[in-house]
């Protein structure tokens, strides 16, 4: 079993980096570090444990980086470079320490005689299920270079869609946080000054002003409780959403959201069709393919429907019949699948359906982004306007009394 060595080294940019590496001995560890074009400053056996918080601990790399890895593998294998050499080259130049560590271990497994799919299967938390299954199918058919090319296109497309969906949900979140911050600042700094002035005047105040002053007094009194409570609540929500129960609950809610639910539903359908199309076209048996897609689709509602359809297919039903009981698959999807099954071109039909729904996601995200921005700004303006009105109305009354 390889030993673990901790190192401190300087990379080509002059930055000092720390990490761990697996090697048979210290000399081999030094060679691997130098192959990454780093100058060794310290190297010692053993693992350096850093105190990490579960909230910030990363076990995977961004989808975009994984797509780049697939594209690099595809390009090198198409050029005739062996899998072992490709893995070593990518590991040596990888900027992400996790990617470099995993690929280094994969390279050692390849050296011991294991296949690429077997080596990847040791890191199921890192390599997606669809990638491992596709690599296995590519090795069996002798078309691994073609499979890696498809995987590169698949993850590039999924990365683009995910970024678009994230951008559509990030802006409202940012505006919402900004609105809360503005309200807190105005309530704790501006409103109290006017409240003192109105109290000295002894005049009758409008209802909106009374309510605003009461809210301001409450926030001032409990400010040191409210802010920490909001921070704790945000951290607790983050940790809860990382659990299986929390993740499934959010997935169920996401497809029921007004407007945004359409994006999440179409995204799940597009991911289902694209993944299944690639697997079926690569010769993966339908039962196994559906099991993989159920894990890839990233929504518990759709996963349940796909597993239910898988059971039906194992009992002799067609895929379209198995999915017909689920309300989450549209009549268009079911009809296109039925046509593909009857024509014996299910993989092609799935690809066309995937193209349609992926295009729908991109179009909907772009349209919502152009609508949400003015709506959120208007909402923030309304909040600030109400607070200003609560201040200005009594001042107008004071002006009238003076005259």
CATH number of the domain encompassing residue 194: 1.20.81.30
The reply to whether 53 falls in a domain is no
Number of domains in the chain: 3
- Say what the pLDDT of residue 353 is: 92
Mean of pLDDT values over 201-220: 79
Select from 129, 157, 185 the last residue of a domain: 157
In tens, the pLDDT along 248-269 reads 888 889 888 887 888 889 989 9
What is the Cα Rg of the chain in Å? Answer: 29
Q: Are the C-beta atoms of residues 175 and 183 closer than 8 Å to each other?
A: no
Say yes or no: 197 and 290 in one domain: yes
Q: Are residues 74 and 208 in the same domain?
A: no
CA 207 to chain centre: 46
Model pLDDT, residue 125: 83
Question: Would you say residue 218 lies in a domain?
Answer: yes
Predicted pLDDT of residue 98: 87
Kindly state whether residue 201 falls inside one of the protein's structural domains: yes
| Six-digit token string for 74 | 């595809």
DSSP 8-state symbol, 48: P
User: Distance between CA atoms of 347 and 158, rounded to whole angstroms?
Assistant: 18
Residue 31 lies in a domain: yes
Residue 50 belongs to a domain: no
- Same domain flag for 102 and 37: no
Q: Tokens representing 153?
A: 């296109």
Structural domain for 131, as ranges: 63-157
Could you tell me if residue 284 is inside a domain? yes
More confident residue, 235 or 4: 235
Is the domain of 178 the same as that of 129? Answer: no
Give the whole-angstrom CA distance, residue 275 versus residue 277: 5
Burial letters 181-191, b for 16+ CB under 10 A, else e:
eebeebbeeeb
Same domain (yes/no): 333, 263: yes
Do 8 and 133 belong together in one domain?
A: no
pLDDT range class, residue 400, cuts 50, 70, 90: low
Residues 67/155, Cβ–Cβ less than 8 Å: yes
pLDDT digits (tens, 9 = 90+) for 82-111: 888 888 888 888 888 888 888 888 888 888
How far apart, in whole angstroms, are the C-alpha atoms of residue 53 and residue 12?
A: 30
Please list the residues that pair with 42 across neighbouring strands.
8
pLDDT for the residue numbered 49: 44
Are 89 and 8 in the same domain? no
Q: Are 354 and 277 in contact (CB under 8 A)?
A: yes
pLDDT score for 46: 61
Q: What is the DSSP string of 80-116?
A: T--HHHHHHHHHHH-SSHHHHHHHHHHHHHHHTT--H
pLDDT at 338 (0 to 100): 92
Count Cβ atoms within 10 A of the Cβ of residue 97 and give its class: 0-12 exposed, 13-18 middle, 19 or more buried: middle
Residues 250 and 331 in one domain: yes
Shared domain for 187 and 268, answered yes or no, is yes
Task: Say whether pTM exceeds 0.75.
Answer: no
- Predicted confidence at residue 349, as pLDDT, reads 92
Residues 138 and 281 in one domain: no
Average pLDDT score over residue span 284-308: 87
Same-domain status, 234 and 324: yes
d(CA 99, CA 93): 10
Q: What would the pLDDT profile of 35-87 be if each residue is shown by its tens digit?
A: 887 877 777 776 554 444 343 445 678 888 888 898 888 888 888 888 888 88
Q: How many CB atoms lie within 10 A of CB 66?
A: 23
Place of tokens 């596709």: 134
Taking residues 366-381, what's their average pLDDT? 80
Structure tokens, 18? 């720390």
One-letter-per-residue 3-state SS of 274-309: HHHHHHHHCCCCHHHHHHHHHHHCCCHHHHHHHHHH
Q: Read off the pLDDT of residues 328-359 as tens digits, 9 standing for 90 and up.
A: 898 999 999 999 999 888 989 999 999 999 88
CB atoms inside a 10 Å sphere around CB 286:
17
52 in a structural domain: no
Residues facing 5 on adjacent strands: 21, 45
The pLDDT score that the predictor gives to residue 401 is 53
Contacts (Cβ under 8 Å, ≥6 apart) of 142? none
Give percent of the chain with pLDDT exceeding 70. Answer: 92
Residues 371-385, buried b or exposed e (16+ Cβ, 10 A)?
ebeeebeeebeeeee
Residue 378 lies inside a defined structural domain of this protein: yes
Q: Please indicate, yes or no, whether residues 275 and 341 belong to a single structural domain of this protein.
A: yes
């Amino acid at each position: 079993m390889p030993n673990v060595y901790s190192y401190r080294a300087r990379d080509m940019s002059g930055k000092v980096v720390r990490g761990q590496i697996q090697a048979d001995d210290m000399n081999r560890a030094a060679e691997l570090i130098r192959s990454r074009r780093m100058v060794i400053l310290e190297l010692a056996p053993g693992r350096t444990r850093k105190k990490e918080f579960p909230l910030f601990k990363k076990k995977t790399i961004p989808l975009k980086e994984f797509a780049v890895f697939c594209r690099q593998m595809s390009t090198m294998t198409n050029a005739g470079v062996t899998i072992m050499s490709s893995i070593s080259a990518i590991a040596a130049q990888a900027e992400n320490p996790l990617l470099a560590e995993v690929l280094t271990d994969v390279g050692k497994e390849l050296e011991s005689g294991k296949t690429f799919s077997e080596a990847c299967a040791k890191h199921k938390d890192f390599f997606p299920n669809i990638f491992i299954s596709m690599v296995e199918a590519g090795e069996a058919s002798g078309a691994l270079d073609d499979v890696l090319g498809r995987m590169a296109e698949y993850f590039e497309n999924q990365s683009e869609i995910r970024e678009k969906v994230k951008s559509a949900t990030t802006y409202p979140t940012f505006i919402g946080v900004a609105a809360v911050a503005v309200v807190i600042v105005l309530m704790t700094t501006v409103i109290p000054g006017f409240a003192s002035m109105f109290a000295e005047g002894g005049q009758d105040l409008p209802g909106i002003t009374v309510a605003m002053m009461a809210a301001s007094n409450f926030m001032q009194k409990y400010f040191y409780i409210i802010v920490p409570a909001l921070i704790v609540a945000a951290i607790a929500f983050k940790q809860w959403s990382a659990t299986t129960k929390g993740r499934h609950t959010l997935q169920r809610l996401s497809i029921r959201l007004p407007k945004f639910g359409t994006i999440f539903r179409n995204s799940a359908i597009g991911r289902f069709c694209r993944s299944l199309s690639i697997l079926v076209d690569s010769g993966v048996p339908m039962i196994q393919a559906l099991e993989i897609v159920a894990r890839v689709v990233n929504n518990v509602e759709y996963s349940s429907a796909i597993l239910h359809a898988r059971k039906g297919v194992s009992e002799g039903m067609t895929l379209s019949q198995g999915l017909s009981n689920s309300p989450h698959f549209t009549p268009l999807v079911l009809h296109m699948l039925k046509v593909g099954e009857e024509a014996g071109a299910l993989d092609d039909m799935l690809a066309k359906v995937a193209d349609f729904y992926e295009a729908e996601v991109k179009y909907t995200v772009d349209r919502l982004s152009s609508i949400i921005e003015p709506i959120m700004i208007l909402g923030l303006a309304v909040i600030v306007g109400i607070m200003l009105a609560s201040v200005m109305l009594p001042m107008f009354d004071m002006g009238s009394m003076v005259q």
